[in-house]
């Protein structure tokens, strides 16, 4: 399946087969494929909570407009955007700096520049913190969906949930924003899909002012 096939095949599926599980091997492969997503300074400010048990998914469903797919999909991911991912004491920042030194991408004397660059870009306002986290995690989420399609899985990204209630119920720390939930699984057998929705064309996308 080439990339054009993946883009055209990916659909947001509302009805999943609750009897067909996603194997741990496939789930790990999907997530690690998506981990190749680019991010600002390679800070990768994303995490996932993986929900599989009926109890977890029922709790989430009650906070997500009672959408049946939350419990029908074998896996639901709570996608997390880490607003602290740019900070120099963050574990990923530390590992990133270490890897930069090991590979020769950066030199020790560049550390202050690196720290100041991330601060100036991502810490000039609370909006900047959120934009940094949500932008990069959005890239990752789209990669998750394309990776899933390439592996024969179906997905559905969800905006319809109570953000603060989900954070409280699942004890998500304050440094995380939750951009979306992502249902992952296999579509119901014999499910007939509606035609793909319309998309803007080139001349509707490109503008000038």
pLDDT tens across 35-52, in order? 999 999 999 999 999 999
Output the pLDDT for position 1.
87
**pLDDT-derived band of residue 94, with 50, 70 and 90 as boundaries?**
very high
Output the pLDDT for position 68.
96
Q: What is the mean pLDDT of residues 77-82?
A: 98
pLDDT, mean over the chain: 97
Output the pLDDT for position 191.
86
Output the pLDDT for position 118.
96
Share of the chain above pLDDT 90, in %: 95
Taking the CB of residue 200, how many other CB atoms lie within 10 A of it?
A: 8
Radius of gyration, alpha carbons of the chain: 19
- Cβ-in-10-Å burial (0-12, 13-18, 19+) of 110 comes to middle
Distance, CA of 90 to CA of 129 (rounded, Å) = 14
Output the pLDDT for position 190.
86
Question: Distance of alpha carbon 14 from its chain centroid, rounded?
Answer: 18
Taking the CB of residue 205, how many other CB atoms lie within 10 A of it?
A: 8
Output the pLDDT for position 139.
98
Q: Among all chains, which residue has been given the structure tokens 């002012």? A: 209
Output the pLDDT for position 152.
97
Does pLDDT of 20 surpass 90?
yes
Contact 24, 52 (CB under 8 A): no
Distance, CA of 175 to CA of 183 (rounded, Å) = 23
Report the first-to-last Cα separation within the chain, whole angstroms: 39
Share of the chain above pLDDT 70, in %: 100
Output the pLDDT for position 19.
92
**How would you classify residue 92: left for phi > 0, otherwise alpha for psi between -120 and 50, otherwise beta?**
alpha
Distance, CA of 142 to CA of 157 (rounded, Å) = 9
The continuous run of DSSP H or E covering 21 comes out as none
CATH code of the domain occupying 15-86+133-188 = 3.40.109.10
pLDDT tens across 139-196, in order? 999 999 999 999 999 999 999 999 999 999 999 999 999 999 999 999 998 888 889 9
Does pLDDT of 67 surpass 90?
yes
């Amino acid at each position: 399946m080439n990339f054009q096939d993946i883009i055209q095949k990916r659909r947001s599926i509302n009805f999943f087969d609750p009897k067909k599980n996603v194997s741990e091997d496939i789930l790990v492969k999907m997530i690690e494929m998506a981990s190749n997503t680019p991010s600002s300074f390679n800070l990768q400010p994303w995490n996932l909570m993986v929900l599989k048990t009926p109890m977890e998914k029922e709790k989430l469903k009650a906070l997500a407009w009672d959408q049946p797919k939350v419990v029908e999909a074998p896996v639901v991911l709570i996608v997390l955007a880490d607003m602290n991912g740019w900070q120099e004491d963050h574990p990923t920042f530390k590992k990133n700096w270490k890897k930069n030194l090991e590979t020769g991408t950066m030199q020790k004397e560049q550390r202050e520049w690196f720290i100041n660059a991330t601060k100036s870009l991502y810490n000039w306002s609370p909006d900047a913190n959120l934009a940094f986290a949500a932008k990069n995690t959005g890239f990752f989420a789209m990669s998750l969906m394309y990776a899933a399609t390439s592996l024969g899985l179906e997905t559905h990204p969800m905006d319809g949930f109570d953000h603060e209630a989900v954070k409280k119920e699942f004890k998500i720390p304050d440094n995380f924003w939750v951009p979306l939930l992502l249902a992952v699984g296999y579509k119901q057998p014999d499910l007939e899909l509606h035609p793909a929705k319309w998309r803007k064309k080139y001349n509707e996308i490109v503008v000038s002012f």
